[in-house]
Amino acid sequence: MNHFVSMKDLSAGEIQQLIKLAEQYERGQYSNLTKEGKRFVANLFYEPSTRTKMSFEVAEKKLGLEILDFHCDSSSEQKGESIYDTAKTFSSIGAEALIIRHPVDNQVQLLAEQLPVPVINAGDGKGEHPTQSLLDLYTMYKEFSYFKDLKVLMIGDILHSRVARSNALALKTLGAEVFLSCPKEWQDPNIDYPYLDLDEAIEHCDVAMLLRIQLERHQHQTNLSAQQYLARYGLTKEREQRMKSNAIIMHPAPVNRNVEIEDCLVECERSRIFKQMEYGVYTRMAVLNMLLNKGDEAVGENHQTMYAHAQQW
Ligand code: CP
């Protein structure tokens, strides 16, 4: 693994290796990635972020890495510097990995092909959000311990969601049964899973994954009010009560309360929304280790054994 830009690049074995590594980090079994001297990484966020940026920062600090923080507004981007020149600058001055969020689809993948250091996609436009996907997978793994035929229902703004795209790819690799539910105009013909009526699907899923309405990426305003959206496409208390007894609720956040999900459900017993954020730290530590240390030291099993186990998920 040279970069971490798309879930389509990862085999089941590699996903399992990352999950096992994250589990060790959760147990507190780790040491710094910096045995000799300082090691630098750069966080280049060209779009707003709370969870991804801050949990990368916590992950980097726990691993003993030095962070080169970048603020678009006070950078030479304001003088017209291209993202390639900015990223190449960070690699030239010593950053060993670049964590990049950008509003343009595929921009991060393009940079990964051009740069001499590992690139991590922290979300590119409507493209992908692979570290969100990894923490989502980790959340499901912690709950169910398997993926084969796990019923995952993704609900909401499928068309504009990079989280949906990355999870669709990863869950296919892992053999889960994915189905989708959303307004017709937000269906994505490139995501090859069945669209079901929410009231039917909610009773059968193991995981109900709500997606944020990505207003900033919409070309046309929706005609639905928040109240109408919640009633037709959101997770209401009435729908939650019809879920399987052990089914869980997920949402990548930020959450639009009382739009995608009724306020009282955000922190209900089935909700794993804030657990997902906690798991984001361990999974991002795992990705950094994989890229900067090739997953050494924390993993007890070798890759071949991991791969054999992954076939049983
Ligand atoms: N889930 C997620 O990507 O959140 P942020 O935009 O706050 O990073």
Walking along the chain (313 residues) 10 residues at a time, the average pLDDT comes out as 96 97 94 88 97 98 96 94 98 98 97 98 97 98 97 96 98 98 92 96 98 82 85 97 98 96 98 98 98 70 47 54
- As to burial, measured by CB atoms within 10 angstroms (0-12 exposed, 13-18 middle, 19+ buried), residue 67 is middle
Task: Please report, for residues 38, 40, 51, 164, 280, the alpha-carbon distance to residue 88 in angstroms, rounded to integers and kept in the order given.
Answer: 20, 14, 25, 30, 27
44 strand-pairing partners: 100
Return the residue whose CA atom lies nearest to atom 3 of ligand 1. Answer: 52
The Cβ of residue 152 has, within 10 Å, a number of other Cβ atoms equal to: 23
Which domains does the chain possess? Answer: 7-128+278-303 (3.40.50.1370), 130-275 (3.40.50.1370)
Best CA proximity match to 18, nearest among 5, 1, 37: 1
Q: Which residue has the tokens 């009773």?
A: 203
Q: Which pLDDT score, from 0 to 100, does residue 103 have?
A: 96
Contact 143/272 with Cβ under 8 angstroms? Answer: yes
**Residue 280 alpha carbon, nearest atom of ligand 1:** 1
pTM: 0.93
Cα 214 to ligand 1 centroid, rounded to whole Å: 12
**CA 250, CA 223: separation in Å to the nearest integer?**
26
Q: Which residues line the pocket of ligand 1, CB cutoff 6 A? A: 49-52, 123, 132, 252-254
Going from the Cα of 103 to the center of ligand 1, the distance in angstroms, rounded, reads 13
| Atom number, ligand 1, closest to the C-alpha of residue 50 | 7
Position 313 scores a pLDDT of 58
